[in-house]
Amino acid sequence: MFATLRPASFQPLPILIFFLLSLNSVQAQSDPIAAEASSDTITSETATSQGGSSDEAAIIEGENLFKANCRACHAIDQKLVGPALGGVYERQDMDWIKAFVKNSQAVIASGDNYAVALFEEYNQTVMTSFNFSDTEIESIIAYIKHETENAVSADASEAGVPGAPAQAAEQQPGTFLTAVVIGLVVVLVLILVVLFLIINLLTKFLQQREGLDEADRAIIDQKFALSKIVKQPAFVGIVAFIFGIFVLKSVIDGLYQVGVQQGYAPKQPIAFSHKLHAGQFEIDCNYCHTGVRKSKSANIPSANICMNCHGQILTESPEIQKIYAAIENNRPIEWVRVHNLPDLAYFNHAQHVAVGDQECQTCHGEIQEMEVVEQFAPLTMGWCINCHKETNVNTKGNAYYDNLVELHTQHSNQPLKVEDIGGLECAKCHY
């Protein structure tokens, strides 16, 4: 079944690492394999040399390759779609790993016991040859070794990672009007309290005064009647004024919310949890949304990407069966778009993510904690403008900005912001 469903663009690296990390389990289950190539024969010095370079640049490169290609199905210290990657460099020598990465089918065809056993164990799934260089493979292994040996410190550092960048606050007109209305109500209440105190003092003074005629005495001695006050034109005018202010505020708030879908969380055709995939399993957003760093759109993942993992895991799930049905019927999954910008607005993901170095959470919120994706930000013009006013431009190491920074420092002691390089020009977003 999997041979039929596997797409032409099948990603090789998750299955590659799945194979490599399963070497120990295959070894334990197959005595002939263990007899021929036992991992116990590898000394600690040899394992260290196979761990790839200890150079920091190589580890960083390996981390980038790992997160972009491997983390969708694997973690260092726990089993996800495939086994944990910790210690993979101790299970086979580096030459074998490189050969398997570059052409796994050739290794299987050669009769290698490990390769053949893995091929049989995983339903004869053929891994597409991956065109990694020796240096890239070594850097991935170096990163895995570094993470394995520094698991405790890595956990401590992850606990202290700050959250998503703070959102730029957008002051809505309704906020200002609410403050005005509350202020007016407080002032009117104070005026009424003062008037009541004055009337009370005057009444007591007049009651103690002698020589008043019967008509004046009747006015002074009359009881408080709420019905008479309610019928007074002044009272009716004040109530009408306050009511009108609230109605005006509601109308203006409503007008400013036209087209704003903040909090919109439509039901999708397949139940997909970002909290599970991006949160618990830490799958990089770029793995599924492949265009986020190189195109205007982030791209909605195709069923092919889903099958990279779900060709092997949870295959009987009713939700996964919907993916199989879409592939078998050659029909795309009709995902419901969550974030909608008007046609008059232009937004480029690559410009903001690759160049502007913005995290997904800046606009989409804590997406890794959402069971159902909802629109986190208002995505209004004012919200975008505030962001451009408050976001610093990362000019470090980029000669393109040298002249701009020099000119900017002549007139301001503030960091260069997006608005200083044309971020508020109308044609940037409206064309």
**Domain segments of the chain as ranges:** 2-159, 173-256, 274-300+335-429
- Residue-wise pLDDT for 307-327, tens only, equals 888 888 888 899 999 999 999
Residue 138, helix vs strand vs coil? helix
Give the list of residues 6+ apart from residue 25 with CB closer than 8 angstroms, or none: 83
Predicted confidence at residue 347, as pLDDT, reads 94
CA dist 275 and 97 (Å) reads 33
- Residue-wise pLDDT for 371-388, tens only, equals 999 999 999 999 999 999
Give the list of residues 6+ apart from residue 249 with CB closer than 8 angstroms, or none: 174, 177, 178, 181
Per-residue confidence band for 268, with pLDDT thresholds at 50, 70 and 90: very high
Per-residue confidence band for 232, with pLDDT thresholds at 50, 70 and 90: confident
Is this model's pTM higher than 0.85 or not?
no
CATH class name, domain 2-159: mainly alpha
CA dist 423 and 321 (Å) reads 46
Q: What is the mean pLDDT of residues 235-251?
A: 88
**Which of 8-17, 130-139, 168-177, 351-360 is most confident?**
351-360
Is it the case that residue 22 has pLDDT exceeding 60? no
- Max CA separation in the chain (angstroms): 127
Are 310 and 340 a contacting pair, CB within 8 Å?
no
Give the relative orientation of helices 56-69 and 134-149 as an angle to the nearest 10 degrees.
90
- Residue-wise pLDDT for 73-96, tens only, equals 667 777 665 567 777 777 778 887
Are 273 and 280 a contacting pair, CB within 8 Å?
no
Place of tokens 């046609």: 343
Is it the case that residue 349 has pLDDT exceeding 60? yes
**326 to 11, 299, 313, 319, 372: CA distances (angstroms):** 19, 18, 17, 11, 21
Is it the case that residue 24 has pLDDT exceeding 50? no
* DSSP β-bridge partners for residue 417: 392
- Residue-wise pLDDT for 271-285, tens only, equals 999 999 999 888 888
Is it the case that residue 240 has pLDDT exceeding 70? yes
Task: Give the percent of the chain with pLDDT over 90.
Answer: 24
Token pair in block for residue 297: 């759109």
